[in-house]
């Protein structure tokens, strides 16, 4: 089953994501020093890209 043409074009347009995925947030928190060893990756605060 294929996707409708209107859905394909919307998916390729994309844009800058406003928030990071969980693994990206953990990585950024480790770089900033906010990550504590043994912390749970569930319930993290949403973090924006810096730049």
Per-block mean pLDDT, blocks of 10 residues, the chain (51 long): 74 67 88 86 78 57
The answer to whether residue 47 sits within a structural domain is yes
The answer to whether residue 42 sits within a structural domain is yes
Who contacts 38 (Cβ-Cβ below 8 Å, separation ≥6)? none
Torsion region of 34: left, alpha or beta (phi above 0 gives left; psi -120 to 50 gives alpha): alpha
The answer to whether residue 9 sits within a structural domain is no
Count other Cβ atoms within 10 Å, centred on residue 20: 17
The answer to whether residue 4 sits within a structural domain is no
The answer to whether residue 1 sits within a structural domain is no
Q: What secondary structure letter does DSSP report for 30?
A: H
Who contacts 46 (Cβ-Cβ below 8 Å, separation ≥6)? 19, 20, 25
Q: What is the pLDDT of residue 9?
A: 63
The answer to whether residue 31 sits within a structural domain is yes
Give the total residue count for the chain: 51
């Amino acid at each position: 089953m294929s996707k409708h043409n209107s859905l394909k074009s919307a998916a390729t347009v994309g844009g800058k994501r406003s928030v990071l995925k969980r693994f990206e947030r953990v990585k950024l928190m480790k770089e900033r020093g906010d990550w504590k060893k043994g912390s749970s990756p569930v319930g993290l605060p949403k973090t924006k890209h810096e730049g």
